[in-house]
Amino acid sequence: MLTRKSLELLIDLVEIKLGSMEVFDRDDQKIMRDLEACRKELSGLTRPRAAAPAAMSSAMPESPAVHAAA
C-alpha cells in the first residue's frame, strides 16, 4: 500500500504531465484520457471511502461572504 504522501506526489506528477501536454493526434488524446483516469483513480485512493459526507458538503449553499467578495 502506498502512503498518502506518495499518492499525493504521484497525483502532482500526473497533473504536471497533463498541464505540459500538447495534443496533436489521437495517440496524444488517448494518453491524455489515460492520465486523467489515472489522476481520478489516485485521487480516489487519497479520499475516505464514505461518500455521504462529500455529497452533503456539495449540496450545502455557499456562505454569504463568498457573494459579498464578488
Report which of residues 52 and 2 the model is more confident about: 2
- Count of domains observed in the chain: 1
Residue 51 is assigned to a structural domain of this protein: no
Q: Is residue 69 part of a domain?
A: no
Q: What does the pLDDT average to over 22-51?
A: 91
Tell me, yes or no, whether 66 lies in a domain: no
The Cα 66–Cα 4 span in angstroms is 31
31: in domain:
yes
pTM (predicted TM-score): 0.64
Mean pLDDT of 45-61: 60
Residue-wise burial string across 43-54, b where 16 or more C-beta atoms lie within 10 A, e elsewhere = eeeeeeeeeeee
Over 50: is that where the pLDDT of 70 sits? no
Confirm whether 53 is domain-assigned: no
| DSSP per-residue codes, 2-13 | --HHHHHHHHHH
Residue 39 lies in a domain: yes
Amino acid at 51: A
Tell me: pLDDT of 53 over 80. Answer: no
Q: Tell me how far apart the alpha carbons of residues 31 and 33 are, in angstroms, rounded to a whole number.
A: 5
Residue 25 domain flag: yes
Q: Which domain holds residue 38?
A: 1-46
